[in-house]
A and B are shown apart, each in its own frame.
Chain A
Amino acid sequence: MEADNYKKIIEQLRQQKPQLENGQKLKHEVMNRIRTQKSVSNIAYLIRVAASILILLSLGAYAWMEIYTWENRLAIEQRVSPNELQNNVDWQCRQTVNEIVASLFETNALVRQNDGVLINKSNMKLLEVENAELFARVSDMLERIKLISPNDFQTYQSGEDIHLNAWQLRREYGFCEWITK
């Protein structure tokens, strides 16, 4: 009997659902809070993005300053030691070509003109007699000219003068490549 009454009471409770008096107001308040939170979180997101950009820019500026300083220091060091300034191979080539041109200037067999010498068949015959080693070297150079600049070589073959200076040897006839090989 007692149990039946208890069941009846519970059953009655199940039937009577508590009702919200002002449900719409509650729902509006929830939605307002959500919207406010969203705008606050949007601002927070923007601040986070701005802060990230600022940090990245700062890091970039720091890295750039470091590299810039390092480059400056390197440039100063290079100025102190000119050999370091140049590309090593290029510098060696320049030295070797200058040495060759200097030895061409020294010989009496060749006629000097401005910053270079004039070479023709008769000069070469004299050079062969005067300095066999230098003759062999110039002959090699003529072989190179034959490959790189056939017109110049034809001029030589026809008995005319060809003019040789350090710049031509390095840039026009590509002696640096030849020396390296």
Chain B
Amino acid sequence: MESLSDEILVEKSRAGNQQAFAVLLERHTDYCYSIVYRMINVKAEAEDIVQDAFVTVWQKIRSFDSQKAKFTTWLYSIATRMAIDALRKRKNQVDVHSVAIISEDHNGFTQLCNNELEESVRQATSSLTELQKAVFVLREIEEMEVVEVSYITGLSAKQIKDNLYVARKQVRERLKKTLSL
């Protein structure tokens, strides 16, 4: 089963084959987590989102159209949208709560990466809007194609370009301040 392609595994999953889906899960969890974590910056929350994203994928796999996008693109679009929703919810929370999240952030991030540089980048991206952050992570860090980012975020090529421009500018300025570039 492990040697089968994503397309075949998706077809088998469509037919209700849980083993096939487990292989897809095994294959794509890490990268999916990477994207979500870079956006969310909270370990536990990112794990929950990845978990929910895979459950949603299983529920909706019959409606997946392989003509429109690759399975991975579809998976990342679900996970990214969930991450964007989580960021929006977080924004609406009370300040005290946000402080708690940030402090947890810091600990989780430090434990995970143990890297001052990444912490600086995390702080630099914290002022970005949800979509700017998504575009920055997908296009700038993960180096995805514009078409793929467009499918995942639902933005047009021009919107992606504009959001990326603003995100880059802000991140660069923030980094300049914190790291005295």
Q: Does B25 contact A (CB under 8 A)?
A: yes
| Interface majority SS (helix, strand, loop, mixed), chain B | helix
Partner of A26, one of B50, B58, B117, B143: B50
| Interface majority SS (helix, strand, loop, mixed), chain A | helix
Known A-B contacts A12-B117, A29-B51, A33-B55; A18 and B37 likewise in contact (beta carbons under 8 Å) = yes
Hey, what's the 0/1 contact readout for A27-53 against B, CB within 8 Å counting as 1? 101110111011000000000000000
Q: Which of A1-9, A99-107, A150-158 contacts B (4 or more CB under 8 A)?
A: A1-9
Which chain B residues (115-144) contact chain A, with CB distance < 8 Å? 115, 117-118, 120-121, 140-143
Which interface class (under 10, 10 to 19, 20 to 34, 35 or more) fits A? 20 to 34
B71 to chain A, nearest CB (A): 16
Which interface class (under 10, 10 to 19, 20 to 34, 35 or more) fits B? 35 or more
Q: Which residues of B contact A38 (CB under 8 A)?
A: 16, 18
Q: Which residues of A contact B74 (CB under 8 A)?
A: none
A176 to B77, CA, bound (A): 83
A-B contact pairs, 11 of them (CB 8 A): A2-B176, A2-B181, A5-B175, A6-B175, A13-B121, A14-B141, A16-B115, A26-B33, A31-B22, A34-B21, A37-B59
Binding site for A on B (CB under 8 A): 16, 18, 21-22, 25-26, 29-31, 33-34, 37-38, 43, 46-47, 50-51, 54-55, 58-59, 112-113, 115, 117-118, 120-121, 140-143, 168, 171-172, 175-176, 179, 181
Binding site for B on A (CB under 8 A): 2, 5-6, 9-10, 12-14, 16-21, 23, 26-27, 29-31, 33-35, 37-38
